[in-house]
Structure 1
Amino acid sequence: MARKKELKEIEDKLYNYFSKDRKIASLKFKIEVLEQQIENIKKEKIDCTKWYSGINWGDKIQTSPTNNSFAETEIIRLEERKEQRISECLQEIEDIKETIDKIQKENSIIDYNIKFLGKEEKQIITYKYKDKWNEFKIARELYKDQSVINKKRRKILNDIIRWEEWF
């Protein structure tokens, strides 16, 4: 039973391995979107020094106990919200970068050891886990019997389990 579970975990890792480039590309695109949002928020920020030149005593301004007008208080509140949004975007970017690093780390063992497989073994796992073909279609493509493909696939999976045990 444990062996079946190991085989299923390895198959999941192979599916993830062959879809990692697409996942990483989509995560990098999300980082670009977040960076663009940060730039847009920074453009929206108000530079208080441009418009604040001191109190014009001719205007009637209501002040609060903090000596800030309602308008000043609202501007400060809005600017603090913008700073919070920027902070949240930066945190999300860091989380995404961490996820990319994790994906690359998880796939490094398979990536390294796949180089040592034979041409036919590489074709089998590429067809099965990247292209998501069934064994019958793989057998037809490689001019082999389906049982031969199944045996080779199991052998490859067992080899990968051994790679995992080494690290």
Structure 2
Amino acid sequence: HMDHPSHPNYHKNNPGGSNSGSNSQFGAQGISAKPSSSNASTLDAAQVFSWVRHKKIPELTTYLSECSADSAVDSAGNTPLIVACQNGHFGVCKLLLAHGADLNASNHKGNTALHYCMNYGYEDIGNFLIENGADDFQTNAEGLTCYEGLTQSDLEAL
């Protein structure tokens, strides 16, 4: 279903007050945010993932002061930590971890942040996650650990 102007989540509110390049033309289709406080209920989860991909540490720090590190989930089931690891952003990973990100959260294919670190060549981040308690033997939907690979469809997308 497409978001419509009459839908309660259609109009987005930027609680930070800064206009840092809103991507509202892309909408939030397939993306949800589960706020941990009433202040965050209008936060656009797509914005959170944009900040993660573009290493917007100040914006993420403000967001994390109000919301759980795992509150935003994209249409593929990825958490901000998984997306940070897919992009090799060590600093963002450390920030999310400091704010309680679930190291072993998995997306709809069962892949964890560690699966992406080890298969995209970010072993330094992967080792950091393991040192902080990530389960390196957790398997994805195809029964593969982070050392064995990603799902076939993920590899075809590379």
The TM tier, using the shorter chain, reads under 0.3
TM-score (norm 1): 0.22
**Structure number with higher helix proportion:** 1
TM-score (norm 2): 0.23
Larger Rg: 1
